[in-house]
Amino acid sequence: MKKKTSRQEKQSGWMMSRRGFLTGMGSGALCVAASGHLFADDRVHAAAPVLAPGALSKITLYVNGREYDVLVEPRWTLLFVLREKIGLTGTKKGCGRGECGACTVLVDGVPRYACLTLAVEAEGTAVTTVEGLLRGEELGAVQSAFLEEDAFQCGYCTPGQIMSVEGLLRKNPAPSIDDIRTAVSGNLCRCGAYSHIFKAAARAAKAREI
């Protein structure tokens, strides 16, 4: 006849199992710690410097052909520095998280969201904003094409749209309509002026050929 296990015996068995488990875990931790010491490099690794909150560091930015020495916090975006520290407000802040494209600038000729780019990342690169497309007091080819094709309504997204088209034409002087659509696919126009934007891009491409 099978002997019944009393409640006390069950509880005692559970307690022993738990105690054994904890003992095993402790032993395992000691082994891991010991192995870490055994295999660790004897050389002392210098800890990475930690900047205090609000600490500023000096960087040099090259924007629209000019050199700017600015003090920045490591967390500041290129968008913030362009607008608030350098004073180039043509680059717009929309969503602030890389979804609308209003803040698009060129970094070494490539369209990039300024809201997702840290200012310190841009050091040593050539940054171009919509102001940098002006030829003296005259509009650049892409800017003129947007004006002539009425490729904007509220105009808030326009600087970013222009910079995406400018980046495309620097890479591909004779784009197809599909190339143009792809180039501005990361720029949202809440007014829905896309057909005019496509026409403006095509017009700017032809103007560059002259």
Whole-number Å distance between alpha carbons of 58 and 71:
4
CATH class of the structural domain 57-209: alpha beta
Name the residue among 69, 93, 97 with its Cα closest to residue 79.
93
Q: Considering the entire predicted model, what is its pTM?
A: 0.75
Residues 30-43 have pLDDT tens digits of 444 444 444 445 55
Residues 130-183 have pLDDT tens digits of 999 999 999 999 999 999 999 999 999 999 999 999 999 999 999 999 999 999
Report whether 71 contacts 56 (CB < 8 A).
yes
Whole-number Å distance between alpha carbons of 77 and 70:
13
The mean pLDDT of the chain is: 85
Mutual orientation of helices 194-209 and 141-148 as an angle, nearest 10°? 130
Q: Looking at this protein, which amino acid is placed at residue 110?
A: V
**Domain spans of the chain, in order of start:** 57-209
